[in-house]
Chains A and B, each alone.
Chain A
C-alpha cells in the first residue's frame, strides 16, 4: 500500500445550509485536528477514542479566534472509509465558516483533495470491491469534468487571467536564471542579482494583491455577481429591497463603487451573492436613452447572472427587446413584474425573443412570486451540480491554496536572491512557485522555458 499524503475537502453538498462537513484523510489527519480543534476539557484528539463524535470548537491557531462550534468525528485506520486515519469536522455555519475550516486544514498540512480522491483511496486501499472499479473511474471522470467546467466559469475564469499574467512573468524570470546556468559560455548579458530581485519583488507584490482578492476579500465577499437590468420604474429597486429585507445582508455600501450603481451583498441559503442594481445608471435629464442602454450592457459583462425585469402592465418595447438580445448569450432569469395589474405583456412575448430562458412572474407590491424567484436564482447558480463537485467556492479555495504555496516558494527564491545564493538554488524555488501557479492555469513545461530561452537569447556555439 502506498503511503499517501493527507487530503481534505468539503464533503457535503453545498448551498443547503445547516451542517456541513470538512473531511481530512491520511497520516496527518489526527495531527491536523490537534492543531485546529479545541474541546471544552482540552482533551487532545490524539487521546479521543476512534469512531466517536466530540463536541468542541475550531480555533484558528494563528489568531486564536474561534471559527465555529463543531462536532469532531474521529475514525482511525484501517476502519474508515479510506482505510486511513480520517477526521470529520461537522460545522454549523454556511459556506463561509466551512470554507474557513477547510483552509485551516490546508494550512495545518493537508492538501486539497482532487475530485473523487477519497473514493479513489478507498478503492486503492482495498475498502471497495473489485467490481466497483468501473464506478470509481466514472466518478473521478465526471467530477473532474464538472470541476473543470466550473473552474472555467465565473469567479475562477477571471482569476485565471490574472494568474496567467503572473505565471508568464515568472517563467520569463526563470528562463533568465536557467539561461545563465546552462549557457555560461555564450556571449550573453544576464540580469544581475539586484534587477532580478526587483523583478521577483514585483511579481511577489502582485501575487500578494491577488491573494488578498482571491481569499477572504473580494471574491468570496462579493460572491456571485448578479446584475438587475430593466427599464426605469420596472421595479428594480423594489426587487433589491425585497431580497435584502428577507435575507441577511452581509455588507452594505462598498466604498469605491461607482456612484451610479448600488451594490448590495446578501447570503442566499449559504451562497454569497452580490446584487448590482443599475437603477442609477440613467439620469434622464442629461443622458439620451441609447447611452443608458449602452451602460447597462457594460454591466452585463461583469455579471455571473442577470435578472432581467419587465413590466407586465406596459407594452413590450424596442428597448426591452434590445436588452433581451444582449442578455441572450448570458446566464439570465427573466422577471415579469407587476402581475397584479392588468396584463399587457405576457410571458409568451418574452419567450419569443429569448426562448429557453427561465421566466418568473412576480408582484413585488404584494410579495408574490419572491420565493419562486429565489429558487430560480439558486437553481441557476447551482445549475447542473447535483453532486458535490468543486463548487466555485471550493475552486476558489483550491486556487487560494495554490497561490499561497506559490507565494511561499517565491519568498524562498527571494531569500536566496538576497543572500546571493548560486543560481540553481534560486531556480529551484522559482520552478516550484511556477508549478503552483500551473495548478490553476496549466503546467509550464521545461520545453516552454527552453523556448523562452532560445527566443530571447542568441544561443549556440
Chain B
C-alpha cells in the first residue's frame, strides 16, 4: 500500500450532485479537499430525468443557492427550458423547474470543480474506508493507493451493490453500463453499518429523428424564464420545447399481457420503489380505470437527439419495451437508444446519522445523497452541501450548522431523514413542511444568505447584492405602509382610472394592496415610487403585504416550535439511566439521539408524556452539571 503524499481536510467519495456540492462547499470554506469518482466523465451526471427543480425541489435549489451552493448557477447556465409551476396558486407553492442540457450540465460542473483552487479531483475506484480508533482517516483506492483526510464524505448514490433489472435479465451495475462499487460495499458492512434495499427506475430514451412530434402536444417554456440563482441576472439562452403524448388502451394491453416478464412483477426485485414515481406496469395495474397516462417527451440536450420519455419507467424486457413504446401516438416508429431499467441498491438508513450528517458509528465520516435513502438531484445536492459545510466546520473546530424545519426545506429533509424510518426512496414534497407559508422560493435568500455569509460560503458580491435587495424591500414596505391616500375626489378618480374601487376613509397603500383584486402594478400607477425597483423586490413586497395575516399566524407557530428546538439534549445523555420512559420510546431515543426536545418529539413512538419525562431528566442533568461546575 502506498500513501498519497498529500493529506486532506475533507475527502469526498463520489462526484454526483451530492459530492460536487460537498467538495465545493468544503473547499470554499477553506479546506484542502479531494474529490474522487469512479469515472471523471460522469461528474454531476443526471442518471434519470434531465431536469432540475419542480415542486419543493425548486425550493431546495434556491436554498442551496442562498447558502452559497452551486446547483442553481449551473442549471441557469445549462438549462434548455425554464418553467414556473403552480403560477395560479399562492406564492409559497410556486416552484421553478428547468430542463437541462444533460451533457452541458456535467461539463459545466466539471469545469467549476476544475477551476476551484485547493480542490483536487481524481479518478479513483474506492475499495475501502480506512479507520483508526473508530474514526475515519481516509480511503484505499483499487490501485492500492491510500488517501488520508481529517474527514470523509461518502456520496455513493446507487453504486453500493447496485443491481440493474431489465425483464428477466439482471446484472451488477451502479447505473446501466457502469460498474458498481462492490468492494466498498463490503468495507461498509464491515464497519457495522445497517443497510436496507431500495429500488428505482428510469424510462427509455429514443432517437428524436424517429419521433413524430407533430402528433404530440407542444409544451413551450415560459416567455420570461426566471433564473434559479439569486446571482443570475437573466436567462439569455434560447429555449427548447417539450412535448406531451399519452399511452392508450393498446399500450396497457401490451403491458398487462407481459406482466409476468416484468422484473418487478415476477418478484425478482426485493427493494422498495417510490410510490410517487411508479413504473408504467404499476400505473396500469393499480389504476386500471385510467384509459391513458401522460408522457412528457423531453429533449436531453441541444447537441444530442436522445429524447427522454418521462412517465414510462419500466422493468420490462427489451422486446416488450419496443412494442409498448411503438403503440404510443407519435412514437410509432421510435427507435429506442437506451432501454428502461430498474435498479436496486443498498442504502444506509439515515437514523445512523446525526443532524450534521456525520455517522454516529464512525467519527469524521459523513453520508450524503441517495446513499441515505433519498431520491432526486436536489435532495442529494442539499445533503452534500450540508455535509460539506459541517465537515469543514468540524475541521475548523467550529460549531456545526443545523438548519431547523422552520428555516428551510433542507432542514425538513435532514430532520425527517434522521428521525424517521424511511421505507421508500424519500422525495421532498411541500406538504412535508409544517411552515410551508414561510418556506418560499422567493424568500430563500432572506432566510439563508446571512447564514451562508457567516460560515464563509457566500462570496462578497452575492452578499452585497443580497443586502441591497433586503434594504430595498424594507424601504418599500415602509413607504407602502406610511403613504396614505385620502378619499378626495382627485384620488377617487385616479383609483377609478386604475380599476380600483373607491375608498371611504384614509387608506394606506399597504391596505389597498391587501385587497385580493389589487396588484403591485396598480399601486405603482396611483402612487409611484420615485426609484424603479427590481422585479424581485416588488414581488417580495407584494407577497409580504398581501399575505401578512397568514404569514403572521405562521410566525406565531414558528415561535412555539422554536422553544422546544432550543431545549438541547446533551450529547452524552444516558437514556438507560432514567426512569419513567416507555421501553419503545427509550430504545428509539437511544438510537436516534435527538439534538433537542423538539426533535425528540418528532420521533415515531415517542409520546408527549415521554417528552415531559425527558425534559425533567434533561433539566436534572443540566442542573447537576452546573452544580459540579461551581
Contacts and interface: CB of A to CB of B under 8 A. Distances in A.
A354 interface: no
B617 A424 contact: no
A422 B554 contact: no
Contacts of A449: 431
Interface stretch (B30-38, B39-47, B84-92, B208-216): B84-92
A458 B290 contact: yes
Contacts of B566: 2
Interface string B24-68: 000000000000000000000000010000111000000000000
A178 B88 CA distance: 15
B429 A182 contact: yes
Interface stretch (B144-152, B229-237, B274-282, B441-449): B274-282
B90 A424 contact: yes
B493 to A, nearest CB: 28
Contacts of A115: 609
B616 A187 contact: no
A454 B276 contact: yes
B311 A461 contact: yes
B277 A460 contact: yes
B437 A461 contact: no
Contact of B616 (A5, A140, A423, A450): A140
A137 interface: yes
A459 B566 CA distance: 38
Nearest to B617: A133
Given A117-B612, A124-B619, A181-B93, A458 B293 contact: yes
Interface in B378-401: none
A181 B431 contact: yes
Given A182-B56, A446-B432, A461-B310, A425 B283 contact: no
B277 A461 contact: yes
A421 B93 CA distance: 13
Interface residues of B, number: 60
Contacts of A461: 49, 277, 294, 296, 310-311
A interface bracket (residues with beta carbon within 8 Å of B): 35 or more
B430 interface: yes
Nearest to A141: B580
A422 B612 contact: no
Given A114-B609, A114-B612, A137 B617 contact: yes
Interface in A415-461: 419, 421-425, 427-428, 431, 446, 449-450, 454, 458-461
B620 A114 contact: no
Interface in B72-94: 85-86, 88-93
Interface string A115-142: 1110010011000001001101110110
A3 interface: yes
Contact of B286 (A130, A419, A425, A458): A458
A2 B567 contact: yes
B55 A182 contact: yes
Interface in A53-84: none
A124 B55 CA distance: 42
B93 A428 contact: no
A235 to B, nearest CB: 46
B26 to A, nearest CB: 32
Contacts of A144: 607, 609
Contacts, number: 135
A100 B86 CA distance: 48
Interface string B544-568: 0001001001100000100100110
B436 A424 contact: yes
A246 interface: no
A422 B580 CA distance: 46
A187 to B, nearest CB: 4
B247 to A, nearest CB: 11
Contact of B609 (A141, A184, A185): A141
Which of A137, A425, A446 has most chain B Cβ within 10 Å?
A137
Nearest to B83: A185
Interface in B411-443: 429-432, 434, 436-437
B535 interface: no
B86 A425 contact: no
A117 B612 CA distance: 8
A431 B433 CA distance: 11
Interface string B571-592: 0000000111000000000000
Contacts of A134: 579-580
B506 interface: no
A420 B252 CA distance: 38
Contact of A140 (B290, B294, B429, B613): B613
B89 to A, nearest CB: 5
B615 interface: yes
A419 B515 CA distance: 11
Nearest to A421: B90
A65 B206 CA distance: 78
B4 interface: no
B629 interface: no
A315 B432 CA distance: 68
B620 A181 contact: no
Contacts of B274: 460
Nearest to B420: A447
Contacts of B550: 425, 428
A419 B290 CA distance: 33
B55 A181 contact: yes
B623 interface: yes
Interface in B522-553: 547, 550, 553
A124 B616 contact: yes
A181 B437 CA distance: 13
B624 interface: yes
A108 B286 CA distance: 51
A123 B612 CA distance: 11
Given A137-B579, A419-B516, A187 B609 contact: no
Contacts of B617: 133, 137
Contacts of A3: 563
A424 B554 contact: no
Contacts of A137: 578-580, 613, 616-617
Nearest to B86: A184
A116 B609 CA distance: 9
Contacts of B516: 419
A460 B580 contact: no
Interface string A195-211: 00000000000000000
B607 to A, nearest CB: 8
Contact of B430 (A182, A185, A454): A182
Which of B432, B516, B620 has most chain A Cβ within 10 Å?
B620
A425 B90 contact: yes
Contacts of A181: 55, 86, 89, 93, 430-431
B608 interface: yes
A346 to B, nearest CB: 46
A123 B93 contact: no
Contacts of A136: 616
A117 B620 CA distance: 16
Interface in B590-618: 607-609, 612-613, 615-617
Nearest to A137: B580
Contacts of B436: 424, 427-428
A424 B92 contact: yes
25 contacts: A2-B567, A117-B612, A120-B615, A120-B616, A140-B580, A140-B612, A181-B430, A182-B55, A182-B56, A182-B93, A182-B429, A182-B430, A182-B431, A185-B296, A187-B292, A424-B89, A424-B93, A424-B436, A427-B431, A450-B431, A454-B275, A459-B276, A460-B274, A460-B311, A461-B277
Q: 6 closest Cβ contacts across the A-B interface?
A: A422-B90, A137-B580, A144-B609, A458-B287, A133-B620, A454-B275
Interface of A: 2-3, 5, 114-117, 120, 123-124, 130, 133-134, 136-138, 140-141, 144, 178, 181-187, 419, 421-425, 427-428, 431, 446, 449-450, 454, 458-461
Given A181-B431, A184-B55, 10 more contacts: A120-B616, A130-B624, A140-B580, A144-B609, A184-B89, A187-B293, A424-B430, A428-B554, A458-B283, A461-B310
